[in-house]
A and B are shown apart, each in its own frame.
Chain A
Amino acid sequence: MTAPVLNYAILAPILIVLGGALIGVLIEAFVAKKLRGRIQISVAALSLVAAFAQLIHVRFKTSTTAAIGSVTIDGAGIFLEGTILVLAFVGLMLIADTDNFTAQASAIPGSAEESAAIASGKQQTEIFPLTLFAVAGMLLFPLASDLITLFVALEMLSLPLYLMTGLSRRRRLLSQEAALKYFLLGAYSSAFFLFGSAFLYGYSGSLSLTNIAAAITGPGGNDVFLLLGIVFVAVGLLFKVGAVPFHSWTPDVYQGAPTPITGFMAACTKVAAFGATLRIFYVALDSAQWSWRPILTVIAIITMLFGAIAAIIQRDVKRMLAYSSITHAGFLLIGVISLNRPGLIASLFYLFVYGFATLGAFGIVTLVRDSSGEVTDINRWTGLAKKSPVIASLFALFLLSFGGIPLTAGFVGKFSIFTAAYSGGNTLVVIVGVLASAIALLFYLRVVLLLFFSEPTSESVSVVIPSLLTRIAIGISALVTVVLGIYPNLLINLVTSYSFFNR
């Protein structure tokens, strides 16, 4: 019996990030309080950079599977890994402002212990290893090519996120409530995913995506098992991407989580979850499209419309961005149901530019504060442009990119995804998508109106002077949004050469 071949070189990006996380745990335990924060940031940043370097190193490796076929490295996988690492790196710059996180997570909100922790100036920094653990899970999720590995990766990325959601420094009860809600619903959806996996195993006798695909094209098999399997696996995935009707956690979690985490989660989780969704539906369930495409089409339509309409009535910036992310999940689902190469290209492009705009937007939310912390009530943002024209303009830029106004990267993303759907013969979703965009524009523009055309009131907020890292993070996001809007060639050619799945 031969020893299993793991192919460490290909797995290395994930392993490096995991290693960094473990080192982070040790640092948290052993390094002096004063130095801890800085060392944690450096270790986290270094492991992300090292993982990215290794990823570039192995990007043309001929061997495409690792860990006995449970991980597939192909063009799309590499690109998704790269996107996650880059977004996580920028997200880390926002997270580095530890002022947003609770001094001591274990202290009960409002207790004497908590005030003591704050007074002593203690600052726990477990957020950094947690981030790395989540990133490792995210890297694995879109590469996993059997259902067990998918499930493990799903849990690996989710568990740290549940925890990170609860670490907000201010409004801790809200934060903890969000964490609990996220955890409970997340656990449910994981169970659904596992349940579906079991059905798919029952149908095909295998856990590997390739074998499931073969079983679908092959003779026999119990179609009821297949259908149930698809439905339950889809529920698990749709929960993660925040599609209607599995979206209800999104607004609460986005609102409750510390804002840098919200940005990180919104950007990176979307990439990882859509990466895995694309792989499952493109690779394993391609031949069964008759059974899932109509359902997903309906879900995409409802998701786009619901997100856009619900966002109109939001008064809280973070909740509004949450509903906006639901709308975008709908747009991205169009890429999934297109089920063609343009659809894959469009999805990869969209995920990249959406991720940056999201990080930038949440980065700005962290800056708008009053004496008691962040202010997310949109009515108190009125006239922000008068006080801080640059911040207001950048926020407007990100919103316009979300809205898909030409000369922003969001427009190119939207254009390519609609094109893919149209060429897949799905005219209906294009029309609904256009309508949803119009509705979504209404609330994006209302915010722009509020920022620029309203006089600041006495209630209005101020903008804190951003730390250097936050400034860089927002700057990079804005740059990506503008440059890829004007000259998308830079990314789209790269995406084109990487957009394939190995079956």
Chain B
Amino acid sequence: MSILTTLQLIPLIGSLVLIALPKENGKLAKQIALGISLVVLGAAIYMWTQFDTSSQALQFVEVRKWIDFFGINYAVGVDGMALVLILMTVILVPIVIVAGWNESEGGRWSVKTFYILMMVLETMMIGVFAATDLFLFYVIFEAMLLPVYFLIGGYGRGERAAAALKFLMYSLFGGLLMLAAVIGIYITAIGQIGGTFDIQKLSTLQIASSTQNWLFLGFFIAFAIKAPLWPFHTWLPSAAKSATPGTSILLLGVLDKVGTYGMIRFCMTLFPEATKTFTPYIIALAVISILYGAFLAIGQKDINSLIAFTSISHFGFITLGIFALTSQGLSGAILYMVNHGISTAALFMTAGWMVARRKSSQIADFGGLQRVTPILAWSFFIAGLSALALPGLSSFVSEFLVLLGSFAKYPVAAILGTTGIILAALYVLLVVQRSLHGETKPGNEALSDLNLREKLVIAPIIAMLVIFGFYPKPLVDVINPTSANVMSHAGVSDPVPTATSKAGK
């Protein structure tokens, strides 16, 4: 049995243990959930140490027959990209559990149910990145919406039910388009190599370009809704506003990454020709997302919506990096996914603490927190700086790589994207100024600073932001072989720099 299967089984068994618990003992449920997620984290770190960074091949592979009739397998395996995303996932889960120690209370259902959903979600989040069978991926891709739906609708705030439904409908609609495309590629495979869903075998298919375009769109729209890319983003702000901070972290940090992950894993690898056809349009969408997200973030009054819009901007950067079709851009995009996960976690977490203390998520209600709650304020400030990609913090490395990689091929897009950085400084520093600095607004005088639990959980996040900012090598080493592999699959190579010779004339 592959360690990837073990990783999925631990939280799944954990959820069964939780089901058996009595309803009243919420505290025990929290402790068990935390314990399980830490075990998973340990196992995943062990897997990281065993990972061979010199190889481009899938590792920890396991294949078992699942549905013979359609040639469907339970097949898992990871390359560098999947590995770092799984690592990010299993790091975020315990952090989310500790950070939101009390957010499971006061929901529609018991505390226990919250952690059951969380554990099931962790199983699926690992599975979705580990799957190397298209059908298995699709099943998890769709099924993982349900725990999130219940987490938002059952434990969220405000218009939670409507937000949950909106989230689910958008995602399912995208999923159904993808289903049609999945069937399409399967039928093509039957004609050429026999019915299979094995991603590696599927990538060897010769697909007519018109068919390729349709199938590409089926996949791409599903992933663009997930990511979310403008104009498919409208579900995100309402979901982020209504979900608990923990759910938002997992939603934006992990689930949305499935979108960008899918663009690389499926769109680029399976439909290289269509990828080239659509690249200019997608680059345009990405740039619009960067600017649109940034502009709207500036205008937000609700702190959670603000974070959601910054993420739309960041996903624009990731998409730009992916479809720049250069190895720097691709590596940058993959690295960006991880960094964005950590940075968003820091933002949602600190914002969540602020909201929980002030009992309001309106930015206007805050002010002068720097004096009242210095540690919380500093944490939020650093999280904000990581969102604007300050040099020295991890997100700078990835943003720089993305812009570098895309400038080589799409200078206009890269330049427009760079203005997104300036806008980022604006939206971050504005919210910092309004909420942390200035006079202490009435209602804020008595707010308490971070307690020990909260300090313990923000510390490793900030540490990661700084460490990977100065020393991204452990991640980059794992990622680079993957991006090289994807590049060769997509049949593209890096452009040779020509700027020097032109300058000489």
Contact = CB atoms under 8 A, between A and B. Distances in A.
A452 interface: yes
A422 B187 contact: yes
B142 A492 contact: no
B164 A453 contact: yes
Given A406-B138, A452-B154, A422 B173 contact: no
A493 B68 contact: yes
A418 interface: yes
Interface in A417-456: 418-419, 422-423, 427, 430-431, 434-435, 437-438, 441-442, 445-446, 449, 452-454
Given A419-B70, A453-B108, A496-B69, A445 B179 contact: no
Interface in B332-380: none
Interface in B68-102: 68-70
Contacts of B142: 405-406, 411
A400 B72 CA distance: 22
B169 A442 contact: yes
Nearest to B184: A422
Contact of A488 (B67, B146, B160, B173): B67
Interface string A377-402: 00000000000000000000000100
Given A446-B165, A489-B66, A453 B154 contact: yes
Contact of A489 (B69, B179, B190): B69
Nearest to A439: B173
A422 B146 CA distance: 28
B43 interface: no
A327 B243 CA distance: 33
A438 B70 contact: no
Contacts of A492: 67-69
Contacts of A454: 161
A22 interface: no
Contacts of B140: 406
Nearest to A442: B169
Interface string B107-126: 01000000000000000000
Contacts of A437: 176
A434 B176 contact: yes
A58 interface: no
A453 B168 CA distance: 14
Contact of A431 (B67, B138, B180): B180
A446 B153 CA distance: 12
B309 interface: no
A408 to B, nearest CB: 9
Contacts of B108: 452-453
A362 B40 CA distance: 42
A407 interface: yes
A60 interface: no
> B interface, how many residues as a size bin?
20 to 34
A490 B70 CA distance: 13
B69 A406 contact: no
Contacts, number: 82
B69 A449 contact: no
A487 B165 CA distance: 28
A370 B431 CA distance: 53
Interface residues of A, number: 34
A415 interface: yes
Given A434-B179, A452-B150, A406 B139 contact: yes
Contacts of B183: 415, 418-419, 422, 430
B23 to A, nearest CB: 11
Contacts of B68: 489, 492-493
Nearest to B153: A453
B67 A489 contact: yes
A65 B169 CA distance: 50
A445 B168 contact: yes
B393 to A, nearest CB: 38
A419 B81 CA distance: 31
A407 B139 contact: yes
B173 A423 contact: no
Main secondary structure of the interface of A (DSSP, over half): helix
B165 A434 contact: no
Identify the interface centre among B140, B161, B187, B190: most chain A CB within 10 Å of its CB. B187
B153 A449 contact: yes
Interface string B150-189: 1001100000110011001100110011011001101100
B69 A438 contact: no
A204 B108 CA distance: 67
B143 A418 contact: no
A449 B67 contact: no
A422 B69 CA distance: 16
B180 A418 contact: yes
Nearest to B136: A406
A435 B190 CA distance: 25
A441 B179 CA distance: 14
Contacts of A422: 183-184, 187
B164 A441 contact: no
Given A445-B165, A488-B67, A492-B69, A405 B146 contact: yes
A134 B343 CA distance: 65
Identify the interface centre among B66, B69, B138, B177: most chain A CB within 10 Å of its CB. B69
Nearest to B174: A438
A453 B69 contact: no
Contacts of B154: 452-453
Given A419-B186, A419-B187, A489-B66, A449 B176 contact: no
Contacts of B173: 438
Contacts of B153: 449, 452-453
A438 B143 contact: no
Nearest to A418: B183
A360 B185 CA distance: 34
Contacts of B190: 423
A187 to B, nearest CB: 40
B272 to A, nearest CB: 22
A493 B70 CA distance: 11
A446 B66 CA distance: 32
Given A419-B187, A453-B160, A441 B169 contact: yes
Given A489-B68, A492-B67, A441 B177 contact: no
A434 B161 contact: no
A431 B164 CA distance: 26
A423 to B, nearest CB: 5
Contacts of B168: 445
Contacts of A406: 138-140, 142-143
B69 A405 contact: no
Nearest to B190: A423
A345 B68 CA distance: 14
Interface in A2-61: none
Identify the interface centre among A345, A405, A406, A449: most chain B CB within 10 Å of its CB. A406
Contacts of A488: 67
Contacts of B164: 449, 453
B107 to A, nearest CB: 11
Contacts of B70: 415-416, 419
Interface string B132-150: 0000001110110010001
Nearest to A453: B161
A79 to B, nearest CB: 15
Contacts of B146: 400, 405
A315 B74 CA distance: 41
A438 B161 contact: no
Interface in A448-503: 449, 452-454, 487-489, 492-493, 496
Nearest to A492: B69
Contacts of B176: 434-435, 437-438, 441
Contact of B179 (A415, A423, A496): A415
Given A415-B70, A496-B69, 11 more contacts: A405-B146, A406-B140, A411-B139, A419-B70, A434-B180, A437-B176, A438-B169, A438-B176, A445-B169, A487-B66, A489-B68
10 contacts: A400-B146, A406-B143, A415-B179, A416-B70, A441-B169, A449-B153, A449-B161, A449-B165, A453-B164, A489-B68
The 4 A-B pairs with the shortest beta carbon distances in the complex, nearest first, are A453-B161, A406-B139, A406-B142, A434-B176
